[in-house]
Each structure stands twice: as structure tokens, then as C-alpha cells.
Amino acid sequence: EPEVTQTPSHQVTQMGQEVILRCVPISNHLYFYWYRQILGQKVEFLVSFYNNEISEKSEIFDDQFSVERPDGSNFTLKIRSTKLEDSAMYFCASSPTSSGPGELFFGEGSRLTVL
Amino acid sequence: AQSVAQPEDQVNVAEGNPLTVKCTYSVSGNPYLFWYVQYPNRGLQFLLKYITGDNLVKGSYGFEAEFNKSQTSFHLKKPSALVSDSALYFCASGVTGFQKLVFGTGTRLLVSP
């Protein structure tokens, strides 16, 4: 069964460093997402991406965050200058639907620890 | 603004007994409603969704959920719980025309043998 894969599974970084989290969505899916889950808290939407551009973003997704799909298969989340509060599990997801919220297929997550 | 509430942090049930995990929502317009399950150190897995039609929705692993518009609820149910159902369950909502889902805080289900 096709699945969403994410790398790395765990990354430890120093505050102020840049981090890139990588995802390979399911190949025939159209929408791609990043969500995050701070330990013990709810899952929060960061951004959705369709047709090579951001379709929606939350207030969390400020100028320190960026996403791109550099080669037609990978989907990356870059955090330019990490802060302590960026420590969380970051989930990539993809969806086959082209309109409205649909079933999301999540990866296993990348745990980011900012020291 | 959308919101989803899961009033119980944890639900305990004995194996073989029926289970209910509660969810209420606040959405302008017609909601899209979802249940996801998260096992330890794993991503979220889709269980079921309601968009329109029958109020009782059947999903994976024997789970079902009932949409109740008057009570703005979408409770998750299963007639007979298994120990392997023990996990973290998230209710989520969305609205047409937008991609984002708003998740509840999650309910930990513990099924004892």
C-alpha cells in the first residue's frame, strides 16, 4: 500500500539553525500538507500546497517557514531560524482530492528538538 | 471560526464492551467531520468521515460515528472494544472550499483485557 514517507525521523538542532524536513507524498496525490503536534497538545495545521503553490496557511506559518516541491516527488518544510518553541513532531500529509477537505494520508512524522 | 472539542482526555473500557469517544464541533456551514487514530510513535491514520448523507458513518476496524446536527456532535463508537484499539483518537473538522482540518485535543482510549 502506498504511504507517505518522512525524513529524518528525529532531528536535534541548536536554536537559530536552519532545518529542512523532507517528505515523499503518495505519488498520485494532488494536495500536500504540513501539520505539527507539540508534545501533549493538539495537531495544528501549518500549510497546504497545491499546483506548486501554497493554497492555505495558518497564522503559525510565518516568514521563518517555507515549503517547496523541488523535484516533483519531494515536499519539504524549511524552518529558517529555529526557536525553542518550534520543538514538535512535524507531520507531512497528502490527499488525492481536488476540492474541499478530504481524507489525509499522514507520514510517521519528524520529531524536531531545538536546544 | 472552526473548533472541535473532545471533552474526555481518556476513556477506559473493558475488552468486549461498547465504547464511545465524544466529539462536538463548531463550524459555520456544513461540516466535514473526520476521525483519526494515532498509535504510539506513528502518524495519524484515517478511520472515517462524514460529508453528507446518512448520519451513521461506518469506517475502518469496526468503528462507526454518528453525526448529530442538532447536538453538533460526531461521537465515535464501536460495539465491542479490543485491547488493540487502545490508542489516541482525534476528531477533526473542515469546511468546503478549504483544505485545512482543525483537530481536537485527542482522547486516549485504554481498553483493558
- pLDDT tens for B46-80 read 999 998 888 999 999 999 999 999 999 999 999 99
Cα B85 to Cα A84: distance, rounded to the nearest angstrom: 34
Mean pLDDT of A49-77: 92
Chain B: residue whose CA lies nearest to A42: B105
Q: Which residues in chain A are contacts of B105 at CB distance < 8 A?
A: 41-42
The answer, for B105 touching chain A at a CB cutoff of 8 Å, is yes
How many residues in total does chain A contain?
115
Say what the pLDDT of residue A98 is.
Answer: 61
B46 vs A44, A50, A103: nearest CB? A103
Cell matching residue A89: 513532531
- Tally C-beta pairs within 8 A across A and B: 71
CA atoms within 13 A on the CB side of A37: 26
Cα B110 to Cα B113: distance, rounded to the nearest angstrom: 10
Give pLDDT tens digits for A7-62: 999 999 999 999 999 999 998 898 999 999 998 788 999 999 998 999 999 999 99
